[in-house]
Structure formats: structure tokens, C-alpha cells
Amino acid sequence: MERILLMVLKSIFQLPYWLILLNKYKKHPEKFSDQKKYAFLHHVTVKANKRGRVTLTCTGTENLPKETGYVLYGNHQGLFDALLLLETHDKPFATVSKIEIQNIPFLRDVFTILGSKFIVREDVRQSIKILNEVTEEVKQGKNYLIFPEGTRSKNGNQIQEFKGGSFKCAMNAKCPIVPLAILDSYKVFDTHSTKRVGVQIHYLKPLYYEDYKNMKSNDIAHYVEAAIRQKIAESE
């Protein structure tokens, strides 16, 4: 967490203004467009990442569907993953995240402004309800980020098995599925260092409904997992 402190210290004069805006967007979300709120979060993230000595390498943004209403599925390495997307993904998106995020100051506000949903992993009924809500919002054109491992990997760039159930909301929405590969994100906040660190994100070719309509959720999970594993192997 030393890098978070570095980001804060280097932004100390702008931080009060940012917090005022953050609180305004959180309290009165209906008064501001998703694009305006997202532009603010993008701006803060770019500044924070630069001041935190994080260098990003991003490829594949041309693979992102031109129309909104898709779900991004990526490997999960830690708290920095969402900030990685906030800098490199130009369209607003929300996340499906664990309920514990709501206990982390500042981050909970960022996720709330994004319109994220929070899952209690031990409560299957609540999780299904949330994923059904995601389905309906994706149909209406909202983009979502989901980590199908269910929890972050604690083994660097090695990823865990993807869970088929997490793909059902995209299947029910009949929307594009966009795989994304994340490398070295865990080094930003999960190591005790403030040395310059390089992080990679790669947006892979999407699966459209016509590509997966005859596949089962576990088959889609295995396909996306394999594509991400291959990209990580090529990029390390």
C-alpha cells in the first residue's frame, strides 16, 4: 500500500477538490451523465497512475465493440485492476465486485460512481439476483467488467479456473464477450515498493452471440480462459 500513499502525497493539493467532486457525483448521480462522471474518474486515474510511477502498456482497444452493451471478462490480480481499465477503456463501465469493496474508503466511492454491483459470494440467491440485474442493464447498453475467477489470483500472472456461471449474464443478454488479459497488476498495490512498475492490459477479440450461441457456459469459460492464458504466455 506504499504506492497508494505515494499517489496521495503527490496529489495532495488537488485531492481536496477531487474529493469534493467525488462526493457530489456520489450523492447526486442523477444530475450528471455517465460520460461526465467517467471522464472525471479517468482524469484522476491517469494522474494517480503517473504519480504512482506506474507505466501502462495497452493493446487491442480496436477489438472493443463500437456499440455499448458488452461484458469484459478478465483475470483478476488485485485492487489496481479497475484503475487499469479506467485509464485504458474509453467508454463507461461498471463492475461486479465483492461486497468487501464497500469497506475501503475512496475505492467504494469510485465503484459507486461507476454504478457497480456488489456480490455476497456466500449468498447464492443474492448473487443470482445481481447477475440478473446485470443482464437487464447490459441489454440497455451498459458495459460491465466481471472477473470469472471469483477472487484475485495470489500467484502473480498465473490465473485460476474461470467459473462458467459468471458468463450466464452475457449469454442471457446475447451481448459481446470481450476477454482481457492483465499482467503484473498485482505489483502495484500488493508489493511493498514504490519503484517504477510496468503493467500490461490486452483487449482480445470479442465473442459475439453468433459465435457462442450453441456453447454452454462452461465451454465459454474454458475458451476465454484459454485465450487469456495464451496472451499472458506470449506477453511475459
Q: What is the pLDDT of residues 6-38, one digit of tens each?
A: 999 999 999 999 999 999 999 999 999 999 999
pLDDT of residue 1 exceeding 80, the answer is: no
- Position 199 scores a pLDDT of 97
Query: How far apart are the C-alpha atoms of 171 and 10, rounded to whole Å?
Result: 43
> Could you tell me if 95 and 145 are in contact, meaning their C-beta atoms sit under 8 angstroms apart?
yes
Share of the chain above pLDDT 90, in %: 85
Band (103; pLDDT cuts 50, 70, 90): confident
pLDDT digits (tens, 9 = 90+) for 173-197: 999 999 999 999 999 998 889 999 9
pTM comes to: 0.94
Q: Which residues of 145-162 are buried (b: 16+ CB within 10 A; e: fewer)?
A: bbbbbbebbeeebebbeb
* 63-67, 120-124, 197-201: the lowest-pLDDT one: 120-124
What pLDDT does 121 receive?
Answer: 82
pLDDT band at 5 (very low <50, low <70, confident <90, very high): very high
